[in-house]
Every structure is written in structure tokens, then in C-alpha cells.
Chains A and B, each alone.
Chain A
Amino acid sequence: MSKRKTERLLGLVVCLLSSQRYLTATQIRAAVPGYPASFDAFKRMFERDKEELRELGIPLDMGTNGPLDEELGYRIPRQEYMLPDIRLEPDEAAMLTLAARVWRRAELEGAAAGALLKLRAAGVEAEETSQPGIEPRLAGEAAFGPLWEAVRDRRPVTFSYRAFGRSEPQQRQLEPWGVVNRHGRWYVAGHDQARDAVRVFRLSRIEGQIEFSGPRGAVSVPDGTDVRELVAEWDSHPADRQAAVLRIRSGTGLGLRRRAISEQPGGDGWDQVEVPFSDSAWFAEHVASFGADVVVSEPADLRDAVITRLKGALA
């Protein structure tokens, strides 16, 4: 945006805010400096300017001042334009700066800074603070921006997704209900159109572009939906259902002993340790990572799975 354009838009905002009445395009052109002489050129430029103001979130009203007016006019309703009064105590303002820092280097960083700027303009004294001694951050993720727009505007999306273990990504069509950061990773939950079922996707496994596949407002989120809950369920292991009997070399296998139900020293430099688990594939990998320090006695399928892992590492 050139300096001239900034001047013109600033003039336009001030002009439309100053007037209680609707102003016609002709009246606006007469009042705001910087528009071209040709009426057609003016119309085109004015259309773009209106779009520009809307993108900044400036409410632009269209209407007439009375039944006799033939031409539609424009104004910016002050009550809708203005940020309502907000007064924050110093400790509250400190929370705002801490909150804005959460997005540093993540997608909503600019939006957070913009919000802080407006609140400062409203008189809030938001200074940098090191209180309360904790520094939280949200991780950036390329797919977050488009998906946030989609949930915000309730638009369906399509994207290419590589599910765990898949050699090829698949095209997915989703009505997104919400975006969740769980334990540092971003997820989106919603209604998968092709599968007609609720699905959760991990943002880091989305490949390429995310496309909007429907208009704003097309997605309706069912009442009572808790996306946090959906993601937590998807991410959680079922409760421990069985127990493994392991032989663990004395003084090793701490990571397994931390979860043990019972430990019996065997006297031969090995202990017999009982460890509960739910997901046997994951648990087999975990046990294999201890190498020669841990041997599975039972169950047999876990024992076989660990042997397969180890043979894989040997190959």
C-alpha cells in the first residue's frame, strides 16, 4: 500500500466515521482527497477501498437516510467501530503480554500483537513482564493457519493426509469443528464427509495445500461437541488390560520398573518384574529398546513381537 493510498483510506475512515448520515459515493468522492477524476476509475478504486476496510474489520454499513433517497450511501457506525471500554489492573495487563508471547513464532503472532496494540490504544498499560515466572509457548504448524480460518468461518476443507503407517497420502474431506493442541501437537477434529464419521487428524501429517471446499457457514458443529475430548480420546491408550512378566537385569530397565506392579529379585543377577500394558505393539517396541537387559517371559505374543523387532534391527 502506497503512502497515497494509506492517506486516502485514512481520510475515508475519518469521513465515514464523522458522519451520522449515509454518504453516497458522489459525496464521498467530493469529501475525500485522492480519488481519480474519472468516475469509472473512482468506482473501481472505491470498491477496492471498501474491501480493504472490511478486511481490517472496519464495519461498513450501507443504507439510505430516508425513503426519498434513491442512491445507497455508506457510513461506519461508531458503536460498532469502537472497542468498548476496557480497564485492566497492572497485574491483569501483565497477563495480556504474557498471553501475546505464547504465539511468538506461531501463526497468530501478528493477530496477538494487533490485539495488544488496540488494547494499548484503549489506555491499557501492558508492559513486558517476567511474572509469574513461567514462559509458555505454542508451536507453529503450517496447517494451523488455513484450518483456523476454516473452523472460524465454518467452512469444509479438503487436504491430503498421510495416516500412520501409510505409504501414500489420501485425500480427505472434512467439516472441521475445532483445532486442539494436545501435549504440544496440533490436531483437528470434525466430520469426515467421505467416511461419514467423526475423525481426528494430526496437523503435521497433512501434506500440501488445504483447500476450502464449501462456503462460509456451511459447517455446523453438533451441540455439545467437545473437541478437546475427541482429541484426548483419539490420542489416549486404553486402560492397561494385561500384564507382562519380564526378566530385567539388576540395576537396569528403570523405565519399565517405574510402571511395575511387582518386582522379585531372582538372585542370578536378574529380577522378575510384572509390568501392565495396553497397546502391545507400542509396548513391544518399548521393551525392545532395552536390548539385552530385558527379556519377555510372557505373554508369548509380546515375546514374539519383541523378537521380530530385534530381528528387524539386526537385518
Chain B
Amino acid sequence: MTSPRPAASPGGPRASTSSDRLQRLLALVPYVVSRKMVGLAETAAAFGVSERELVDDLNMLWCVELRAPDPYCPIDLSYEGGEIVVSQAESIERPLRLGVDEASALLVALRMLAEIGQVASVPGLAEGSALSRTIAKLEAAAGEAAAPAAKVAVQVDRNAEQSVAAQLREALASRRRVHLAYYVPGRDEATERDVDPMRLLVVEGRTYLEGWCRRAEDVRLFRLDRVLRVDTLDVAAEVPNEAEPVDVDQGLFRPSPGDLRVVIELSPYGRWVAEYYPCEEVADIGDGRLRVVLRTPDSEWVRRLALRLGEDGRIVGPAELVADVRAAAALALRQYTQAD
């Protein structure tokens, strides 16, 4: 990953787990009230707690007591037989309204989905779909808290051909195999392969097809803007059972043990490398220079990167690669001296 930046929030630490509990308690009663009766197990799952924690919560709610002017217990509930019923809770029978952060988190994400709907032509996210209705309803329910969400916007790369996305969606829907002509910039190659589509992903602002690549016999991601051509084949897609979907929450790039460990020293003009590629290590070596460690299976890619960087990025190791880059640079320069 990129260099650790201790840009801590000046507002201090976020809500503690115990203020989470108060929020949960306030949501619990309306959750049950709006469903009349609901099982312990189901409720615990919905709130992400164990049944035991849930029972503790219910007991705490049931025990709320106000002592003046006349003592009374405002909340009455039971969970006999594993079914929760709230018979009295008038003051907290509705959930607390959405806070600005809460409303914004959902609205920003929903508007991002709408943007993706356009870019990747996803029918389920098209205008006039459930998505636009959801946005309108959420804005109405959030009221004033909805406004600051407009200060965060998400823009997805529109470089991919609309027709490519549409064709891949159709292949996904009809579960058919596709033939892709796919450009690999790291090797400057147009590759041809058959792929059994699994799903479309939008990660780091770009749209990808995830699929079982029959050439690699493994799950691969294909950036849609690098797809040169799609042919939908008259063959049913067969995604093997062992095909593991990529865990997008772990980042797209996962180094494997056989990868090269490339050490590069970057000038201030070469620092972008640390922003664009997941680096295993990033060290500040003074004067704005960085020493980074990258993992890649592809020495060709490193050679191209080094030629691109020139004096702004010096490969330090492995030694074969250092020699390789020098040779490639010398060969390229010879083209110019010969031509002259």
C-alpha cells in the first residue's frame, strides 16, 4: 500500500463502541415496533450482535425507569419464546433521524451508483429505476441533513466504450462465454482469450469484468477501457466451482510468492509511482526522494516503467533487472545515433 499518512481527524476519535450501544438501543425498539413481532436470532443478525448481547439490550430497555413526578417504567417488552414484542414505548417508538454523515454516506454512494449506471449502462441503475426512487425518498427522509452530501462527488472513468459494457452485461445475463481482444499495456500486447464472465466491478473509479479466463485457467479482471473487441460466443459460460471472486475490499493487486521484488528510487517527479501502484514499502530518503518496493510477476512491465521514468526512477534491484534496463536504454538510444 502507499505510504502511511498520519492525517488524523482533528475532531478527535470517532464514536466509541459504547455510544454505538446507545444508538443501537434507540434503534432496537422501533425495529421491533415496525415489525410488530420479530425473532431474537433475526434481530441479533440485523444489528450485528450476539443473541446474548441482544438480550442484555432488551433487558436494559425494559429496566428504564423514570422516578419523578411519579415513578414509572416507560418501556414494556417481552421476548418469551424467542419472539420480541414491544407493548409500550411511545417515546422512542420511532428511530432517530439521520445525521449529516449518515445521510451523506448513503446519498454519495447512491449518486455514485447512478453515475456508474450511466457509464457502464447497468439496467438496474438506469435513470427512472429503483435507484432514482431510492435517492428521492432518502433525500425526503433526511431533510436538511441531505444537503452537505452535494459537497462530495464521484466521477467514474468514461473511457470505456459503452458498447463493450452493454455487450458484457448481456453476456452475463444470458450466461454466455465471450472472446476478448484485450490490450495489456505493461507488455504492449493485444491478447486474445475466451472468458466466462462472472460479474462487473467498479473499483478505484474504473469498470472491470471479472471472469474465468480460459487461457490463464484462473479468475482475471479486465479493465473495460482496455477491451479492444468483444465477441459473444454461442457457448454457455462455465465458471468452475473453484473460481473465487476477487475480494475487492483487499485491493485489486495481490502479490504472489513467485513475484519479483523490485526496489526503485524515485525523484520528486517520480513519486507518482507510489501513488499509482501498490508498494510494499515506501521510505522517504530525503530531498523529496522515495525508495519503494514493488512486487510484480512481470519484468517487462518494470523495464517499460524504468524507461518511462528515466532519471526520475532508478531501479536498485534485482541486479538482473538493473542490467536489463540499461541494455534496453542503450539499444533504444542507438536507434537515434544510427539514424543520425
Bound pair: A and B?
yes
- Please report A residues at the B interface, Cβ cutoff 8 Å: 1-3, 5-7, 9-11, 13-15, 17-18, 27, 30-33, 52, 55-58, 78, 80-89, 91-96, 98-100, 102-105, 108-112, 114-123, 131-139, 142-143, 145-146, 148-149, 151-152, 159, 162, 164-168, 177-185, 202, 204-212, 221, 227-228, 231-232, 252-255, 258, 285-286, 288-293, 295, 303, 307-315
Kindly state the separation between the CA atoms of A315 and B311 in the bound complex, as whole angstroms: 7
Least Cβ–Cβ distance between A239 and chain B, in angstroms: 15
The residue in chain A whose Cβ has the minimal distance to the Cβ of B74 is A14
Contact B101 A108 (CB under 8 A): yes
Digit string of B43-85 for contact with A (CB within 8 Å is 1, else 0)? 0001100000000000011011111110000110000000000
Chain B residue contacts of A57, Cβ below 8 A: 96-100
Contact B64 A103 (CB under 8 A): no
| Residue of A94, A167, A212 touching B287 (CB-CB under 8 A) | A167
Contact B64 A122 (CB under 8 A): no
Contact B97 A80 (CB under 8 A): yes
Contact A149 B19 (CB under 8 A): no
| Residue of A92, A148, A208 touching B130 (CB-CB under 8 A) | A92
Looking at the complex, which of B21-29, B211-219, B253-261, B291-299 is the stretch in contact with chain A?
Answer: B21-29
Chain B residue contacts of A27, Cβ below 8 A: 68
Chain A residue contacts of B155, Cβ below 8 A: 180-183, 228, 231-232
- Please report B residues at the A interface, Cβ cutoff 8 Å: 2, 5-11, 14-16, 18-19, 21-28, 30-31, 34-35, 46-47, 60-61, 63-69, 74-75, 90-92, 94-106, 108-110, 112-113, 116, 120, 122-125, 130-131, 133-134, 137-138, 140-141, 143, 148, 150-157, 169, 172, 183, 185, 188-190, 199-206, 248-249, 268-269, 271-272, 275, 287-289, 303-312, 314, 325-326, 328-336, 339
Chain A residue contacts of B19, Cβ below 8 A: 1, 52, 55-56
Chain B residue contacts of A288, Cβ below 8 A: 307-308, 310, 332
Q: For the A-B complex with A56-B99, A136-B116, A185-B204 known, give 20 more contacts whose Cβ atoms are closer than 8 Å.
A: A11-B66, A14-B64, A14-B91, A32-B67, A102-B109, A111-B99, A112-B106, A115-B98, A115-B105, A131-B124, A177-B151, A178-B150, A180-B152, A185-B205, A204-B275, A255-B183, A285-B309, A288-B310, A311-B310, A311-B311
| Residue of B22, B190, B202 touching A135 (CB-CB under 8 A) | B202
Contact A313 B140 (CB under 8 A): no
Chain A residue contacts of B329, Cβ below 8 A: 291, 310-311, 313-314
Contact A88 B134 (CB under 8 A): yes
Contact B330 A314 (CB under 8 A): yes
Contact A134 B28 (CB under 8 A): no
| Residue of A165, A177, A314 touching B326 (CB-CB under 8 A) | A314
Contact A135 B96 (CB under 8 A): no
Kindly state the separation between the CA atoms of A255 and B289 in the bound complex, as whole angstroms: 30
Least Cβ–Cβ distance between A35 and chain B, in angstroms: 11
Contact A83 B60 (CB under 8 A): no
Contact A86 B140 (CB under 8 A): yes
Least Cβ–Cβ distance between B265 and chain A, in angstroms: 12
Kindly state the separation between the CA atoms of A313 and B325 in the bound complex, as whole angstroms: 7
> Contacts A81-B96, A131-B124; is A137 near B203 (CB within 8 Å)?
yes
Q: Quick one: which of B7, B199, B206, B329 has the most chain A CB within 10 A?
A: B7
The residue in chain A whose Cβ has the minimal distance to the Cβ of B141 is A86
User: What are 7 A-B contacts with C-beta separation under 8 Å?
Assistant: A7-B60, A10-B25, A98-B113, A167-B288, A210-B7, A212-B10, A292-B328
Least Cβ–Cβ distance between B309 and chain A, in angstroms: 7
Least Cβ–Cβ distance between B248 and chain A, in angstroms: 5
The residue in chain B whose Cβ has the minimal distance to the Cβ of A286 is B308
Contact B94 A313 (CB under 8 A): no
Kindly state the separation between the CA atoms of A78 and B141 in the bound complex, as whole angstroms: 15
Kindly state the separation between the CA atoms of A80 and B155 in the bound complex, as whole angstroms: 34
Contact A102 B304 (CB under 8 A): no
Contact A314 B112 (CB under 8 A): no
Chain A residue contacts of B92, Cβ below 8 A: 13-14, 17
Chain B residue contacts of A168, Cβ below 8 A: 288
| Residue of A31, A82, A152, A255 touching B68 (CB-CB under 8 A) | A31
Kindly state the separation between the CA atoms of A115 and B141 in the bound complex, as whole angstroms: 11
The residue in chain A whose Cβ has the minimal distance to the Cβ of B137 is A86
Chain A residue contacts of B97, Cβ below 8 A: 57, 80-84, 118
Chain A residue contacts of B138, Cβ below 8 A: 86, 96
Chain A residue contacts of B151, Cβ below 8 A: 151-152, 177-179, 221, 227
Contact A139 B109 (CB under 8 A): no
Chain A residue contacts of B14, Cβ below 8 A: 110
Chain B residue contacts of A100, Cβ below 8 A: 105-106, 109
Kindly state the separation between the CA atoms of A313 and B322 in the bound complex, as whole angstroms: 10
Chain A residue contacts of B311, Cβ below 8 A: 308-309, 311-313, 315
> Contacts A121-B34, A123-B35; is A208 near B6 (CB within 8 Å)?
yes
> Contacts A7-B60, A112-B106, A114-B23; is A142 near B6 (CB within 8 Å)?
yes
Kindly state the separation between the CA atoms of A182 and B155 in the bound complex, as whole angstroms: 5
Least Cβ–Cβ distance between A184 and chain B, in angstroms: 3
Contact B106 A313 (CB under 8 A): no
Chain A residue contacts of B289, Cβ below 8 A: 167
Chain B residue contacts of A114, Cβ below 8 A: 23, 99, 101-102
The residue in chain B whose Cβ has the minimal distance to the Cβ of A232 is B155
Contact B95 A135 (CB under 8 A): no
Chain A residue contacts of B35, Cβ below 8 A: 123
Kindly state the separation between the CA atoms of A196 and B275 in the bound complex, as whole angstroms: 28
The residue in chain B whose Cβ has the minimal distance to the Cβ of A210 is B7
Contact A117 B7 (CB under 8 A): no
Kindly state the separation between the CA atoms of A292 and B23 in the bound complex, as whole angstroms: 64
Chain B residue contacts of A1, Cβ below 8 A: 16, 18-19, 21-22
Least Cβ–Cβ distance between A296 and chain B, in angstroms: 8
Kindly state the separation between the CA atoms of A119 and B97 in the bound complex, as whole angstroms: 9
The residue in chain A whose Cβ has the minimal distance to the Cβ of B17 is A1
Least Cβ–Cβ distance between A9 and chain B, in angstroms: 5
